[in-house]
Structure 1
Amino acid sequence: MSSAPVTIQDPASGSSASLLPSLGFNCFSWRPALALAEGPATPEMLWAEEEFAQGSGRPSRSGTPLLFPFPGRIRAGAFEFEGNRYQVEPSDGLGNAIHGFALRAAWRVVEQTTEAITAEYQPSIDDPDAVGQWTGDYRLRATYRVVGTRLDLSVAATNLSDHPLPFGFGTHAYFRLPLAGATDDAEATIVRAPVDAVWNAAGLVPDGGTAPLGALGESLPAGGALAGREFDTPYRFASGARETVIHDPRSGVTLTQTFDESMRCCVIYTPGHREAICLEPYTCVPNPFELEAAGIDTGLLVLAPGETYRTAIGLEVSVA
């Protein structure tokens, strides 16, 4: 499989997106056509390490990592399901497994048009080392489509095994700050997320307890300036949550991320370089198996043999 990036483009608007199928089918560049008073006509909305397009960057630190069959961490990489114990290779530098297998693997492109691309990841075909680390085989199919000022992602996960398959799914997009490069003040960015509690965590692994939003997150539901705040924090989505919003009040640029009711957790992360922010919708709380065993509803999903889970995440940018 070629390690070269692939670009899709909307001919009508000139908007484009670039992906790396050989490294997690990661969408690392999105350039929507915007009517900005200053700056490029198609500004970059995603952040990626300089070497990422060549396939040598870290898969969890650039672009849009797709997290499956679990988002976030599993403590020590160990979990039990239906009486069987499984061990996932630790990968976070702290002894925990993190973000699943799909983001690090080469995907197969199965369909491509000018403005859309579809690829698949199946451990038994694409990543044999991952097979024994999970409960069974599955197929993850994803399609990206660029149209106007939107970038749409649709996902289908199918259980290919003959027994139930537990899973979680999430995305980890690095949204470039300042938005569209329209200003030079990332800290003025307004961040809004419909959350109502924070999941307590020890060593970045949720322990099952929740707490009020507190000083760090109290402005999130209505929206507040980033203003130097540092996040690596799992939040609980409020009932009915369907979107997160990032807004640059100086340029009027707004980026809205939409998702469906299956998303239960929002991890917000600010890298140390302060050039991006991640608002990560997850179907489940990180470390779900341990918490479910303690009677805590985490949003962990289970597919019956042959069953398929479908979801969609949309990104749209506008200028006021």
Structure 2
Amino acid sequence: MPAITISDTTSGSQAQVLPELGFNLFQFSVTVQGQTIEVLDADENFAEGNVKPSRCGIPILFPFPNRIDAGKFSWDGKTYQLPTPNPGAHFIHGFCLDRPWRVTEQTESSVTAEFQLSKDAPDRLEFWPADFIIQCTYLLRGNALKSQFTFKNPDSKPLPWGFGTHAYFKIPLSDGSSVEHCLLEAPAHQQWKLENYIPTGERVPVTEANDLTDGAYYSALKLDDVLTDLKPDGKTLKCAVVDEGAGLQTVQECDGRFRELVVFTPPGRNAVCLEPYTCPTDAINLTAKGIECGWETLAPGAEHHTWIDIRVEPIMA
């Protein structure tokens, strides 16, 4: 399965993306203070296409992030049942993370691809209220991976949507450090209360077990939580992996409209997922219950733009 490599020759940064498997950017390396840092965690055989796409690199989650309860929802008077592996199972992570995308533009340092539901996964068109187009551009600039996303509604019907990414960040950031020297930071003050991974609709304060506001050591955390009440730094939202042993940090910065952050520590891996979402898990069903949660609708012919940046930098004293 051919991967596309982009690079910034001035800084030495490099990334690889797999268009045939959800346009997943599964490798990103930067050179900082003479060290080559591998930022993302992915199976060494991921490019062969034999690894679950939601478990490596940066899966792209659209037209909804995370789960829909039992794969069932109603919209505009019609009930939809998404195809789940068994009755009652949740459908997870949207429709485009495991299908081929079409590359539309490429330079030495950037690549753009597009996915349209009716064209690239026509078998799934019946499972969503409207057709959609999602475009993604990845650009390397210095020590940063810059991503830009555009969502379009080519249909004659309104498009309900939510969006997120699911980056797996490596921990620690250098061979000279260890997981015990790494902290996670995120400005989240509340969490959605969950039952079987699905929000009940109640938001409660974060606890000592998942409070990342002042930094928490990774080795003491076991998380799969939907955090909210994010308080952005100015107009953008920042979260970080801070490696005190390496003297470096990985910072993920994004549009301040992202209102949820899923934090997941995958068992058995030295990695963490910091997942910015525009809405929580099961948002389409929460909205139907009258709960305001960031679920959006795109009018026919309309489009929406957003962005997420990832960079590695020295820790500032």
Q: Structure 1 length normalisation: TM-score? A: 0.94
Match of 1:111 among 105, 112, 128: 105
Match of 2:25 in 1: 27
1:290 equivalent to 2:290? Answer no
Match of 1:13 in 2: 11
Q: Provide Cα deviations, 1:105-128, integer angstroms capped at 9, x if missing partner.
A: 100000000000000001111111
| Whole-Å separation in 2 of the counterparts to 1:67 and 1:181 | 31
How far did 1:94 drift?
6.7
Match of 1:211 in 2: 204
Alignment of 1:1-320 (within 5 A): 3-36=1-34, 41-90=35-84, 95-183=89-177, 185-218=178-211, 220-240=212-232, 242-320=237-315
Residue 29 to residue 303, structure 1, CA distance change in 2 (3 Å)? same
Helix, strand or coil for the counterpart of 1:163?
coil
| Whole-Å separation in 1 of the counterparts to 2:252 and 2:100 | 26
Long gaps (5+) in structure 2: none
Q: CA RMSD in A?
A: 1.5
Q: State whether residues 168 and 301 of structure 1, in contact with CA within 8 Å, keep that contact through their aligned partners in structure 2.
A: yes
The structure with the greater share of residues assigned to strand is 2
1:274 alignment partner AA: R
Q: Provide Cα deviations, 1:162-207, integer angstroms capped at 9, x if missing partner.
A: 0110001100000011124441x21321111110111011111111
Count of matched residue pairs: 312
Q: State whether residues 237 and 266 of structure 1, in contact with CA within 8 Å, keep that contact through their aligned partners in structure 2.
A: no
Q: State whether residues 199 and 208 of structure 1, in contact with CA within 8 Å, keep that contact through their aligned partners in structure 2.
A: yes
2:10 alignment partner AA: A
Helix, strand or coil for the counterpart of 1:129?
helix
- Name which of structure 1's ranges 291-300 and 25-34 shifts more when overlaid on structure 2: 291-300
How far did 1:91 drift?
5.6
| Whole-Å separation in 1 of the counterparts to 2:176 and 2:49 | 28
Give the share of equivalent positions with the same residue, in percent. Answer: 38
How far did 1:27 drift?
0.4
1:134 alignment partner AA: W
Residue 180 to residue 80, structure 1, CA distance change in 2 (3 Å)? farther
| Whole-Å separation in 1 of the counterparts to 2:295 and 2:19 | 27
